[in-house]
Amino acid sequence: MKIIKEVYSDVLNKNIQITKPWNTEMYNHNDEVANIMKKEIIFQINLAEELDDFDTLNELMVLSGGIKYGDSYTLGELWEDCLTEVERVENYWLNLEWDYAVEKGYVKKINHKFLGY
């Protein structure tokens, strides 16, 4: 295992080593960051549903599952599927899509980053 550097994980509240291949602490850190992101996504999903905002909900579906729904779906169907997809979203996908979703205003910025990507 090659140690690249050591960083402080404010999510785990301790120093962890960045290694290749990834170590358990890196996976734990990334899972905690993903959980924080998912809470924000769920908040925004529920807000968009409350506001009857199909377009924003559809963008949150892209962030959660990488797909968009057409006009033949109801807001309720989209909302329900968004909540399902956000539980399944992979960390690598959140790492790829999060900054764009923040930039577009679909989610709020968080103070944590994934490690190792």
Convert the pLDDT of each residue in 48-94 to its tens digit.
Answer: 999 999 999 999 999 998 899 999 999 999 999 999 999 999 999 99
Percent of the chain's residues with pLDDT above 90: 83
Crossing angle of helices 91-103 and 24-50, rounded to 10°: 50
What's the maximum distance between 2 C-alpha atoms anywhere in the chain?
51
Provide the terminal-to-terminal Cα distance of the chain, rounded to the nearest Å: 17
Mean pLDDT across 16-32 = 93
Percent of the chain's residues with pLDDT above 70: 100
In sequence order, the 6+-apart residues with CB closer than 8 A to the CB of 4 are: 17, 18, 19, 20
Q: Is 70 exposed, middle or buried (0-12, 13-18, 19+ CB in 10 A)?
A: exposed
Domain boundaries of the chain, sorted by first residue? 2-103
In sequence order, the 6+-apart residues with CB closer than 8 A to the CB of 100 are: none
Residue 38, pLDDT > 90, answer yes
